[in-house]
A = this chain, B = another copy of it.
């Protein structure tokens, strides 16, 4: 039977482990650090989890359980631009609320995704391909500017996760206390312009004010 104390301790350990793994990577993290952060002894950690690997695995599992939700939530029946914009906003919100989870994920991918390749090649790829088809359909219907769907999705990942993953750099460059200040307004503008169904004026030609078919 699982007592209240056991649940609380597991939670404490996972929270401490997230702190340490996301900041140091799997190999860089030590059980000593996690134990100190959790306020428990090292053997006590291993009473709750079989191994260091098991703690890390539990964190990844928790993360992956919700990682795809924002992308899944894109509604085929919605208005295309509004749906993409809402997806971008959800991802940005996740970077704001769960920066450690974003860095945990980034650490894994950066190091070749040894523990995530299965998830990415199956679940994530299937979902992305599905969303790409939907976006292609929207484009064919003229409801969205013609952009490569995969690159569109990658660009949303890159731009939103950057604020969590490169937080240390942004903090050192910006004077603002909040490194994400202004990010939402900027990304709003960026994607509004990218997705506007009317093609913008081409590079060096003066804009013609008639909507060329």
Contacts and interface: CB of A to CB of B under 8 A. Distances in A.
Interface of A: 23-28, 81, 103, 106-107, 109-113, 116-117, 120-121, 124-125, 128-129, 147-148, 150-152, 154-155, 157-159, 161-163, 165-166, 168-170, 172-174, 182-183, 185-187, 189-190, 192-194, 196, 198, 200-203, 207-209
A interface SS class? helix
A183 B113 contact: no
Nearest to A176: B150
Question: A26, A128, A174: which has the most chain B beta carbons within 10 Å?
Answer: A174
Contacts of A163: 154
A172 B120 contact: yes
A171 to B, nearest CB: 9
Contacts of A147: 186, 189-190
A160 to B, nearest CB: 9
Contacts of A155: 159, 186, 190
